Amino acid sequence: MKKVFITRKIPENGVMMLRDEGYEVDVSPRERPLTQDELINFLKLKQYDGVLSMLSDKIDMKVFDASPSVKIFANYAIGYDNFQIEEAKKRRVFLTNTPHGGVDRVAEHAWALILALTCKVIEGDKYIREGKYTGFDPMLLQGSKVRGKVLGLIGAGRIGTEVAKIGAHGFGMRVAYYDVVRNREIEEQHGATFWPTVDEVLKQSDVVSLHVPLLETTKHLIDADRLRMMKRSAILVNTSRGAVIHEISLVKALKQGMIAGAGLDVFEHEPALSPGLKELKNVVITPHIASSTVEARGDMARMAAQNIIDMFETGKPADVIY
């Protein structure tokens, strides 16, 4: 009987799929991400064949060494910067992700952050709850509109394309994008213009949304210099990975009014926030929930479980990373 360890409680459909296939499944009893030492200790308890991992689990040499029987780490996430890919390759351990899980939902969340900032939804809510509302005031909490403005996308994969679609067709925005590869769909279907550098997109955009994976080349892609290039009236939204932004520089830029606001679902040192970030009024923050709908989280559970099943049934999981 194959044994699978799931590093955090996930929707039950994924667990049931594995059990229905006759697998022995253990789910971490902790109601929080495991530390790496805890993960290693769990993996040493049994000769596991597969692990269904979270994006918060650092799967590196130490974990591979501690779990030589594990043939697959199936991430419950679109991103997989938590995997040490070269090390897995050397050991012929399969790595998978859930590339289609929650793409539309992440795009919707990026838009929720954009509109929360431009329509001052959070500030307005807080204002009323604090008992400050005394009646209609023409000068109160003036936001900005997005219609007709420039939406700048850094990264135009599946999620970036969905964000462009909503911006172009829902709000009549002009879309400018940068990516390492050109995306004809975003250009032909959503009228987006390709720019060969990040800087060119940042300089012209009113709303900048980040949709790149976290790699050596994208870590701190948005640093102090690039924040300085943005319009003072622009907002920056991040639903990708926190470390794509140099967070301390962002806090400084927001304090100094270098940009108008930021909407963040991810943080450089998650779950910690850089000092000063949560005190800022021009920031909307959510706890890494961009893909959190019942539908998307259930899809992700199904995809991750299917990758494990396929690995052992056919040797060909659909979503192999390398």
| Residues with active-site annotation | 241, 270, 288
Distance of CA 187 to the CA centre of its chain: 23
Structure tokens at 232: 């003072």
Going by their DSSP bridges, the two strands 50-53 and 94-96 should be labelled as unpaired
Closest CB to ligand GLV among residues 15, 78: 78
Which stretches of the chain bind ligand GLV, using CB under 6 A? 55, 77-79, 291
Q: Give the nearest distance from C-beta 235 to ligand GLV in angstroms.
A: 20
Q: Residue 277: which residues within 8 A CB-CB, separation 6 or more?
A: 247, 250, 251, 264, 267, 283, 285
Query: Using CB atoms, what's the residue nearest to ligand GLV?
Result: 79
Place of tokens 């939902």: 105
Nearer to ligand GLV, 85 or 229 (CB): 85
Measured CA to CA, the distance from residue 232 to residue 229 in angstroms comes to 9
Q: How far is the CB of 101 from ligand GLV (least distance, A)?
A: 7
Q: Which is nearer to ligand GLV, 291 or 306 (CB)?
A: 291
CB of 59 to ligand GLV, least distance (A): 14
Strand partners, 26: 5
Nearer to ligand GLV by Cβ, of 227 and 300: the residue is: 300
Which residue number, 284 or 300, has a Cβ lying nearer to ligand GLV?
300
Q: Which residues, 6+ apart, have CB-to-CB distance to 161 below 8 Å?
A: 183, 185, 186, 190
Alpha helices in 130-255 (DSSP H): 158-165, 171, 184-190, 198-204, 224-229, 247-255
| Cβ–Cβ under 8 Å, residues 261 and 117 | yes
| 85, two tokens | 């890919």
List, as one string, the DSSP characters of 84-131.
Answer: -HHHHHHHT-EEE--TTTTHHHHHHHHHHHHHHHHTTHHHHHHHHHTT
Rounded to a whole number of angstroms, the minimum distance from the CB of residue 109 to ligand GLV is 10
Interatomic CA distance for residues 121 and 104, integer angstroms: 22
Cα–Cα dist 9/22, whole Å:
19
Q: How far is the CB of 79 from ligand GLV (least distance, A)?
A: 3
**Residue with smaller CB distance to ligand GLV, 106 or 258:** 106
Question: Least distance in Å: CB of 136 to ligand GLV?
Answer: 40
Strands of the sheet containing 261-264, edge to edge, are 193-194, 174-178, 150-154, 207-210, 235-238, 261-264, 283-285
